[in-house]
Amino acid sequence: MSTDLLVSRPPGRHRRARPELGAALAAVAVLLFFSVVADSFLRASSIGTVLYAASTIGIMAVPVSLLMIGGEFDLSAGVLVTTAALTSSMVSYQLTAVTWVGVLVSLLVTLAVSGFNGWMLGRTRLPSFIVTLGTFLMLTGANLGLTKLVSGTVTTKPIGDMQGFDSCRWLFASELTVGGMTLKATVWWWLGLVVVGSWVLLRTRYGNWVFAVGGDAAAARAVGVPVGRTKIGLYLGVGFCAWVLGQHLLFSFDTVQSGEGVGNELIYIVAAVIGGCLITGGYGSVVGGALGALIFGMVSKGIVYAQWNPDWFKFFLGAMLLLAALLNSWVKQRAERGR
Amino acid sequence: MSVRRFRPVLLPLAALLLVTATLSGCSSTGGRRAEQARSRAATAGGAVDTPRWTVAMVTHAGAGDAFWDTVRKGAEQAAAKDNITFLYSNDAQTQNQVQLIQAAIDQRVDGLLVSLAKGEALTDVLAKAKAAGIPLISINSGQEFSARFGALTHIGQDESTAGKAAGTELGRRGRKSVLCVIHEQGNIGQEQRCGGAKGAFGGTLQTLYVDGVNLPDARAAIAAKLQADPAVDTVLTLSAPLAATGLQAVQDARRPVELDTFDLGTQVVTGLQAGTVGFAVDQQPYLQGYQGVDLLWLYRYNLDVLGGGGPVLTGPQILTKDDAAALAAYVARGTR
């Protein structure tokens, strides 16, 4: 087994264009478009709102992009965020514990669920679509069922007056106002996660394993890449980020609605795809996923600032995303032909 | 001979046919034209001399909800009358509704109407609206949070009171055993409606949970329950779409069961007229939108506040066969 070979980049990646190039251009185009169409889009406070919207998608787009590069999906990512928030809230409240206890238990639970996804995948060799669809449905039911069982209603009890809430809130949900622009803690988490995710993908041996596993799992296994463990690692990344976002929701809103999060998993996947991650795996970047989230945030809030009829909201959103994706693939083709 | 050769001819021919058909086939009664004439008549006249203000309404509604469409219609008509630009946005997820409220604040609107179904979760963002000096009125749900968030007033229906009104009416009509159909498991407002009805009603009241977004399944579930429990003589549904589904289920069960419901809809009114629906408990969604915008206008114009610190109730209003004929036209135009 020669692991030295795997430390260097796979040869194929040098020839291709940077995966995030198209997304970067699309992001600029969307920014210019809404700057012209919507008067209030470029106000400091609006930029803060757009960045916040982008960050709540972007935090999850980081691990979902990595997972997609590794050739897998996670359909449970959306409700796992709600699970993380619910667990943290209910553990703290029911045990009357310092909120940090709930936060840590929640981390263990989300890592266990996502680890289960990865382990199940490696064990059964079933498609990740099936495995995570199963956990998605189970979590959706468990979120509602357990919350009603424990709290008596579908909403958790407020924990704002409990010890540790303020420090947790500072870490996950504080905000900083710079010249009229309010930056929420999620924006810093997002940036941090993008940097770490990018570094892992491009500068570590594990990152090369991710590319190898997503490109051709059988070939990767043949040259000694631990395919199963690599994928479990990717799923644990999803769990960790779902935990971060879940804690943000809890500590900024104080209570959690148990039925939420359904459908968000597709938005994370959309962000990764717009960002240039190949849906079949083996190609993509974390920065691309982040740009995808930014585009999604700008479009979804830009439509509101432009005061377009909300009945058509989803239509506009879909059309803008399709245009962004088209621009993205066009740029990529041009760049590849040019080399 | 290929189709290709005919192509230059086909297109103008089709266009010609279409135009002739449209021109010669005009109906002189009903249809879209009559509707447009009605709506022009409804919005004409009565302008105020206040400057153009902007009011935003942000609700927890899902997309394409008939109830909220009526609320919007009321708000839009009040806005047209009061020279107000009306902005509407909605999202069922808490964090998205919060972001939409923030977007309204960013746009520096002159007034804000918010439904408070998510309660506590809106604390921070509504504090920001207050700090920005935007007057707030809460509508529809979340009466108990309204004053705490500094709203001028709350416009809506108290769900327990509405439930009690339904229970009293059920008792008055001599019903013995009622099946209360909850179509959103865990919706507090729905639990309060059934709970209120149970408290005020003398007979037995059981609740049945059905899936409100899967109407065929809900129909089968209600019918199965009616067949399994012969004592049940009344079905009480909590929304207009579920009332229509409940009517089908009663037919499926093939025995005389009365259907009563909350909220109005075309099928509910036809049911009232035909006698298949006993009564409807209405909360007047049109009024929630109309009054919301109008009260914000009054506040900006004259610092007027309605309700005296308490909620302004738009319901419950018990509607029976006697009211149905008059209501039919209003339901058809989408304002009841």
Contacts of A316 (CB under 8 A, 6+ apart): A299, A303, A308
- Give the pLDDT of residue A134: 96
What is the arithmetic mean of pLDDT over B35-43? 62
Say how far apart CA B197 and CA B175 lie, in whole Å: 12
Q: Which two tokens stand for residue A241?
A: 């980020």
Query: How many alpha carbons fall within 13 Å on the CB side of residue B157?
Result: 28
CB contact under 8 A, B98 and A307: no
CATH of the domain at A135: 1.10.3470
Shortest distance between the Cα of A45 and any Cα of chain B, in A, equals 6
**In this complex, do A40 and B88 lie within 8 Å of one another by their Cβ atoms?**
no
Q: To 10 degrees, the CA torsion angle through A31, A35, A39, A41?
A: 20
The string of pLDDT tens digits covering residues A17-45 is 688 888 898 899 999 999 999 989 999 99
For B231, other C-beta atoms within 10 Å of its C-beta total: 10
Residue B2 scores a pLDDT above 60: no
Mean of the per-residue pLDDT values of chain A: 90
Answer yes or no: do B118 and A257 touch at CB < 8 A. yes
Residue A301: HSE in the Cβ half-sphere, 13 Å Cα cutoff? 38
Cα A94 to Cα A86, A87, A91, A97, A243: the distances in Å are 12, 10, 5, 8, 19
Of B94, B119, B123, the CB nearest to A260: B94
- What is the rounded distance in angstroms from the CA atom of residue A83 to the CA atom of residue A142? 9
Q: Across the strands, what pairs with B89?
A: B58
Could you give the angle at which helices A313-338 and A264-274 cross, rounded to 10 degrees?
30
Give residue ranges of B with CB < 8 Å to any A CB: 63-64, 87-90, 93-95, 98-100, 102-103, 105-108, 118-121, 123-124, 185-188
Q: How far apart are CA B336 and CA B330, in angstroms?
A: 5
Domain coordinates of chain B in residue numbers?
A: 48-157+285-305, 159-282
Question: Using the beta-carbon criterion (under 8 Å), do B106 and A43 form an inter-chain contact?
Answer: yes
DSSP string, A124-149: H---HHHHHHHHHHHHHHHHHHHHHH
Is residue B41's pLDDT more than 90?
no
Among all residues of chain B, which has the CA nearest to that of A297? B99
Residue whose tokens read 């949070």: B145
Greater pLDDT, B208 or A153: B208
- Reduced DSSP (H G I as helix, E B as strand, rest coil) percent helix, strand, coil of chain B, to 5: 50, 20, 30
Nearest CA in chain B to A42: B106
Q: Classify strands B177-182 and B234-237 as parallel, antiparallel or unpaired.
A: parallel
pLDDT exceeds cutoff 90 at A320: no
Q: How far apart are CA A302 and CA A60, in angstroms?
A: 21
Buried b (16+ CB within 10 A) or exposed e, A264-302: bbebbbbbbbbbbbbeebbbbbbbbbbbbbbbbbbbbbb
Cα distances (angstroms) measured from residue A207 to each of A70, A211, B55, B256, B292: 9, 7, 51, 69, 55
The CA distance from A103 to the nearest CA of chain B, in Å, is 19
Candidates B320, B326, B325; CA nearest to B276 is B320
State the Cα–Cα distance between residues B55 and B139, nearest whole angstrom.
Answer: 14
| A-interface mutation test, from B72, B107, B108, most A Cβ less than 10 A away | B107
Q: Is residue A338 part of a domain?
A: no
Query: Fold identical between B48-157+285-305 and B159-282?
Result: yes
Average pLDDT over residues A112-120: 96
Measure the CA–CA gap between A240 and A107, rounded to whole angstroms. Answer: 7
State the residue for tokens 């509604």. B61
Residue A319: pLDDT band with limits 50, 70, 90: confident
Judged by a CB distance cut-off of 8 A, whether residue A149 touches chain B is: no
Q: Are B139 and B155 in contact (CB under 8 A)?
A: yes
Q: How many CB atoms within 10 Å of residue A181?
A: 15
Residue B119 DSSP label:
G
Please say whether the beta carbons of B250 and B226 come within 8 A. Answer: yes
Q: Smallest Cα–Cα separation from A135: which of A158, A154, A115, A155? A: A115
Q: How far apart are CA A303 and CA A38, in angstroms?
A: 8
Per-residue confidence at B114, pLDDT binned at 50, 70, 90?
very high
Contact B187 A154 (CB under 8 A): yes
A44 close to B90: Cβ distance less than 8 angstroms: no
Single-letter amino acid, residue A232: I
Helices (H), B132-214: 143-146, 159-172, 188-200
Predicted confidence at residue A4, as pLDDT, reads 44
Buried b (16+ CB within 10 A) or exposed e, B172-205: eeebebbbbbbbbbbbbbbbbbbbbbbebbebeb
CA angle A317–A287–A9, rounded 5-degree value: 135
> Could you report the per-residue pLDDT of A175-193, keeping only the tens digit for each?
999 888 899 999 999 999 9
Residue B38 has which token pair?
A: 């009605």
Domain span including residue A270 = 18-332
Q: What is the DSSP letter of A155?
A: B
CA B249, chain centre distance (Å) = 23
A209, A228 Cβ separation under 8 angstroms: no
In a domain, residue A81? The reply is yes
pLDDT at A103: 97
Instruction: Categorize the per-residue pLDDT at B212 as very low, low, confident or very high, splitting at 50, 70 and 90.
Output: confident
Assess contact for B320 and B278: CB atoms under 8 A.
Answer: yes
Residue A280 corresponds to which tokens in the numbers above?
């079949």
Distance from CA of A193 to the nearest CA of B (A): 21
Residues of A in contact with B95 (CB under 8 A): 56, 249, 253, 260
Number of domains in chain A: 1
Distances (CA, A) of B91 to B115, B125, B135: 11, 15, 21
User: What's the maximum distance between 2 C-alpha atoms anywhere in chain A?
Assistant: 63
Average pLDDT over residues A206-210: 96
Closest Cβ–Cβ partner in B90, B108, B187 for A310? B90
Would residue A149 count as lying in a domain?
A: yes
Task: Tell the CATH superfamily of the B48-157+285-305 domain.
Answer: Response regulator (3.40.50.2300)
What is the distance between the alpha carbons of residues A37 and A35, in angstroms, rounded to a whole number?
A: 6
Phi and psi dihedrals of A138, rounded to 5? -65, -45
Residue A197 lies in a domain: yes
Question: Residue A339's pLDDT is what?
Answer: 53
**pLDDT at position A6 over 70:** no
B223-275 pLDDT per residue, tens: 999 999 999 999 999 999 999 999 999 999 998 999 999 999 889 999 999 99
Residue A309 distance to chain B (closest CA, Å)? 8
The reported pTM is 0.84
Spell out the residues 6+ positions from residue B303 whose beta carbon is closer than 8 angstroms to its own: none
The domain made up of B159-282 is a member of CATH 3.40.50.2300: yes
